[in-house]
Structure 1
Amino acid sequence: MSEPSTDAATPAPPAEWSIPRGLIVLLSLGAAVVTIAGLKAFSGIVGPVFLALMLTIAVQPIQSWARRKGWPAWLGMAAALVAVVAILFGIGGALALSAVQLASLLPDYADKLNELLDHVRGWLSDLGVSSDQIHKALSGIDVGKAAGWIEQVLGGVLGVFSNLFFVLALLLFMAVDGITMDRRLAMVARERPAIAQALDSFVTGTRKYLIVSTVFGAIVAVIDGGALWLMGVPLPILWALLSFITNYIPNVGFVIGVIPPALLALLDGGPVLMLWVIVIYSVINFVIQSIIQPKFVGDAVGLGVTITFLSLVVWAWVLGALGALLAIPLTLLVKALLLDIDPTTRWADVLIGAPMDKKAAPQRESGRSAPADTAGAKE
């Protein structure tokens, strides 16, 4: 008599990849390149759309608060729109007015720049530099080019508001959709909890990042503006606004914000005043933006310093100045759509700097899945 078959007791062989993993990685990288190229080609549309989305997320609590108070839905929507319009027109109008004042002020510094160049020529001559070399090095420096460079920096900031009417139209439509968004997300949570969790993580992280950056930006703007006013640097309000806006640019924002006032301080008060501006800006912004603020931002968004800097480089190249301002929220959206939405890829959060879940860590170590992973696997 033959022995009973043991096929039923034999474990099934592990599933093999139909496509090599290396090829999957290459295909993913190729798809990423195509996607980034498409975003860059349509940056004039993608940038304002995402700006409108960020502003909608920022003011959504106003609609929720109005609903809890029993206000009509349209009244909460109107209150949120008024808040956004006030912010946009307030910042944009102040920047535009200050830029006009700057353009009318710079030509008055032509004589001071020529005097400064004469001192530089004399100093180089004392060092033994020939007159031809001095002329070649300094011939291209004039107030017109300095003014053009400063206006170019401000123009990049003002370019954020160039599609203002398009952004306002998008805000109106998104605010209307926001009236029923809570019910829609509740339906998604019942059918696809992992997707709802990823979207909620994106919205929560973005809102925390905007709050933290706004609070610290206001603090930096007040301190920088007050310091410039005490030192007698012209247009301190303009440079305070620039400090506030560039605070949303991670890692290198304050460097961009200090260059225009430092150049104007050089023309107005000479090298000593310029050095004081640079030193005071560096001290203030290093303490606030490099020591204090990253702690709160890191806790809010869960991104490492390297990822933050790379996101700035990539999004600034793709979307320009607007991409630099919105680099962190854009990266959070990509993270939510590619990593958080799939329980099997959430391990990558540890590699990009997200804080580890202390409660879920022991379960992973013992081979068990976290509750969120289990819920997502049931999908």
Structure 2
Amino acid sequence: MQDERDDQETAAESAVDAAAKKSASYPRPLVIIVGVVLSIIGLIALQQVSSFVTPVFLGFNLVLAISPFFHWMIRRRVPKILAGVIAALLVYALLILFVLLLVWSVALLIQELPKYGTQFNELYRTLLDWLGSFGITQDTLLSQLQGLFNPAQIASLLQGLMGNFGNVMSLFATLLVVIFFIFFDAVTFEPRMEAVRRERPLVGAAFDSFSQGVGRYWVVTTVFGLIVAVIDVIALEMLGVPLALVWGVFSFLTNYIPNIGFVIGMIPPVLMALLANGWVNALVVLAVWSIINFVIQSLIQPKFAGEAVGVTPTVSFLSLLVWAFALGPVGALLALPATLLVKAVLVDANPDARWINILISSDPKLDDDVEQPKLTHEGDSEVDGTPAG
């Protein structure tokens, strides 16, 4: 009897302690402030190790993009090791093609630009005349720009460019090694995920959704980038803009940058049209380029991407700024996948945080997420029979 009373008292004390802890929960504003501060600290810390994190995360993204082909080979009874080697070689080939296209386009641009020196000088004089109408003379403009162009600053700029080139080569080399090891582990990765799905169903479902969404995002972005590039090249050729193929390559590469990518890719062809054909041609190129990219990227592409992205345009743009700050220029390419990873870990895997999807999702399923009370006759609630009003 005494033991039974002790057990009951212990249970009662545990219940009291649990109730006390629940009542002593932190205020929600304090939790939000602490969360924001920790997020900022995390981004600053991530910035310090971006040279390591960026190639690793980029490698994971490339593996996820090619994973449908990897699984297709396995379903065709190709040995897993051989399938991994073939998939890794395919990723390497795509990376090398990416670099070669970039080098080719820049080299062709450097070779072509000196031919438009006269047109550039005329454009410069026109700009000076326009500024002169506002009282800004050439001497004033040169005095303002003199501090920007001196031997010391030019040397510093060249050193920075050489440093960035070294960083790019280091990132590329690290990326090649990371991809190899990821595909090496991919042979035994699926049994591990099965174990995770059994132990933590929500976590497994969140990571499955993330991997499928990111893989589809890269495939859809690549396919529509090619479509946009081909249409841009045809339009530029019809408008008589020089180096149309180069601008098509730039359009394809900048298509991977969400929201502002097509604007970045539009600037060079508009300037070239201005130098080669004048203001009217440049304005026509600006209008045609904007219409093509807006219709395809903003109206058609999201229909095929589906839930691959699944966040509002505002969240997409803010993620571009945040991840470019944390991971550098490559962070602009990885902005949406990085946001989807954070969403999978902090929101999708946590039942208490799934309401955040209603705020950030581009297509929130409000009818499925919110249960409405069923009504009986004359508006009575089915719960207790009391009037719903």
- TM-score tier, shorter chain, comes to 0.7 to 0.9
SS at match of 2:77: coil
1:309 positional shift: 1.1
Say if 1:272 and 1:193 are closer, same or farther in 2 by CA, change over 3 A.
same
Say if 1:330 and 1:264 are closer, same or farther in 2 by CA, change over 3 A.
same
Say if 1:156 and 1:346 are closer, same or farther in 2 by CA, change over 3 A.
farther
Residue number in structure 1 paired with 2:4: none
1:252 matched to 2:269? The reply is: no
1:35 positional shift: 0.7
Q: Find the partner of 1:347 among 352, 355, 364.
A: 355
1:361 positional shift: 3.1
Say if 1:287 and 1:355 are closer, same or farther in 2 by CA, change over 3 A.
closer
CA RMSD of aligned residues (A): 3.1
CA contact (8 A) 1:194 1:342 kept: yes
CA contact (8 A) 1:312 1:324 kept: yes
CA contact (8 A) 1:157 1:321 kept: no
Say if 1:194 and 1:120 are closer, same or farther in 2 by CA, change over 3 A.
closer
Spell out the pairing of 1:168-183 with structure 2 (5 A cutoff).
168-183=176-191
1:328 matched to 2:336? The reply is: yes
Spell out the pairing of 1:222-261 with structure 2 (5 A cutoff).
222-261=230-269
Residue number in structure 1 paired with 2:192: 184
Q: Find the partner of 1:115 among 122, 131, 134.
A: 122
Query: Is the deviation greater in 19-28 or in 211-220?
Result: 19-28
Rounded to whole Å, the distance in 2 between the matches of 1:317 and 1:140 is 29
Rounded to whole Å, the distance in 2 between the matches of 1:24 and 1:55 is 36
Identity %: 41
Q: Over residues 52-107 of structure 1, what are the superposed CA-to-partner deviations in whole Å (9 max), with x where a residue is unaligned?
A: 01000011122211211111111101121122112111121011011112122222
Residue number in structure 2 paired with 1:283: 291
CA contact (8 A) 1:339 1:349 kept: yes
Spell out the pairing of 1:151-166 with structure 2 (5 A cutoff).
163-166=171-174
SS at match of 2:253: helix
1:261 positional shift: 1.5
Q: Over residues 203-254 of structure 1, what are the superposed CA-to-partner deviations in whole Å (9 max), with x where a residue is unaligned?
A: 1111221122122111111111121223232322221121112222222111
Q: Over residues 304-345 of structure 1, what are the superposed CA-to-partner deviations in whole Å (9 max), with x where a residue is unaligned?
A: 111111111111222222111111111000001111111111
The letter of the residue matching 1:56 is: V
Query: Is the deviation greater in 262-271 or in 171-180?
Result: 262-271
Rounded to whole Å, the distance in 1 between the matches of 2:250 and 2:166 is 10
Rg: which structure is higher?
Answer: 2
Say if 1:66 and 1:333 are closer, same or farther in 2 by CA, change over 3 A.
same
Rounded to whole Å, the distance in 1 between the matches of 2:243 and 2:68 is 35
1:70 matched to 2:66? The reply is: no
1:360 positional shift: 3.8
Residue number in structure 1 paired with 2:314: 306
Say if 1:251 and 1:160 are closer, same or farther in 2 by CA, change over 3 A.
farther
1:283 positional shift: 1.2
- Which structure 2 segments of 5+ residues have no match? 1-11, 375-389
The letter of the residue matching 2:137 is: Q
Q: Over residues 6-63 of structure 1, what are the superposed CA-to-partner deviations in whole Å (9 max), with x where a residue is unaligned?
A: xx9xx99693243333222222112111110011112222111111010000111222
1:49 matched to 2:56? The reply is: yes
Residue number in structure 1 paired with 2:140: 136
1:357 positional shift: 4.1
SS at match of 1:163: helix
Q: Over residues 127-166 of structure 1, what are the superposed CA-to-partner deviations in whole Å (9 max), with x where a residue is unaligned?
A: x555x6255348889xxx9xx99xx99x999986762221
Rounded to whole Å, the distance in 2 between the matches of 1:347 and 1:123 is 54
Rounded to whole Å, the distance in 2 between the matches of 1:201 and 1:366 is 30
Q: Find the partner of 2:113 among 102, 106, 117.
A: 106
1:183 positional shift: 0.9
CA contact (8 A) 1:194 1:341 kept: yes
Q: Find the partner of 1:29 among 5, 30, 36.
A: 36
1:274 matched to 2:282? The reply is: yes
SS at match of 2:311: coil
SS at match of 1:217: helix
Report the TM-score, using the length of structure 2 for normalisation: 0.80
Rounded to whole Å, the distance in 2 between the matches of 1:119 and 1:305 is 39
Say if 1:243 and 1:198 are closer, same or farther in 2 by CA, change over 3 A.
same
1:82 matched to 2:101? The reply is: no
The letter of the residue matching 2:45 is: G
CA contact (8 A) 2:65 2:216 kept: no
Rounded to whole Å, the distance in 2 between the matches of 1:228 and 1:169 is 39
Rounded to whole Å, the distance in 1 between the matches of 2:131 and 2:199 is 74
Equivalenced residues, count = 346
CA contact (8 A) 2:247 2:265 kept: yes
Rounded to whole Å, the distance in 1 between the matches of 2:107 and 2:334 is 26
SS at match of 2:137: helix
SS at match of 2:258: coil
1:285 positional shift: 0.9
1:281 positional shift: 0.5
SS at match of 2:259: coil
The letter of the residue matching 2:111 is: S
Residue number in structure 2 paired with 1:375: none
Report the TM-score, using the length of structure 1 for normalisation: 0.82
The letter of the residue matching 1:188 is: V
Rounded to whole Å, the distance in 2 between the matches of 1:122 and 1:34 is 50
